[in-house]
Copies of this chain bind each other. A is one copy, B any other.
Amino acid sequence: MKRIAIDMDEVISQFSTKCIQLFNNEFNINYSVNDLHGKKLVELDKRFERKVNEYLSLESFFLSLEVVKDSQQVIKKLSSQYEIFIVTAAMDFPSSLAPKYKWLKKNYDFLNEKNFVFCGDKSIIRADYLIDDTPENLETFKGKGILFTAPHNMQETRYFRLNNWYEIEKYFNNK
């Protein structure tokens, strides 16, 4: 059985959307995720640097993240033909460890927790595929890297790109 490693923030959980929502509420601004085209949050507004640290330190932040559209159904289908691992960078924000675990158990209850990986440097991951929105993680990956479209990576051209979970389903169906 081949193995697919799947990133969490921006790929199955709507991380930036939540940051922007909290930021807009706090500063009475009206940023949208589309304003991130080719940019990270901190490039959109440098106040995000301090604010993201603050948001992430709250347990409630991760628990309240929305699921990315179609990810649950597609991953459920894929899990009958592939080994699925959720691989998330969590070591920069150790306070995110427990809430990330709870979020995964709540929203992906069909996955075994033995297949959750909380790490930093993703070059440690051995899998056939890695679906990730961060180009740096694909750089060091030894299998087939798939760049999952997120507003911040729109200008990245080095990697094979899929735009949403519908396209991922189609890609693996044609294998």
Which A residues are within 8 Å of any B CB, using their own CB?
A: 3, 5, 85, 87, 90-92, 94-95, 97-98, 101-102, 112-121, 123-127, 142
Contact between A124 and B126 (Cβ–Cβ < 8 Å)?
A: yes
Q: How many copies does the complex hold?
A: 2
Contact of A124 among B91, B92, B97, B127 (CB under 8 A): B127
Contact between A126 and B142 (Cβ–Cβ < 8 Å)?
A: yes
Contact between A95 and B98 (Cβ–Cβ < 8 Å)?
A: yes
Q: Which residues of B contact A118 (CB under 8 A)?
A: 90, 97, 117-119
Contact between A94 and B98 (Cβ–Cβ < 8 Å)?
A: yes
Q: Which residues of B contact A3 (CB under 8 A)?
A: 124
Distance to closest chain B CB from A69 (angstroms) = 26
Looking across the interface, which residue of chain B has its beta carbon closest to that of A97? B97
Contact between A119 and B116 (Cβ–Cβ < 8 Å)?
A: yes
Q: Which residues of B contact A113 (CB under 8 A)?
A: 91-92, 94, 120
Contact between A120 and B115 (Cβ–Cβ < 8 Å)?
A: yes
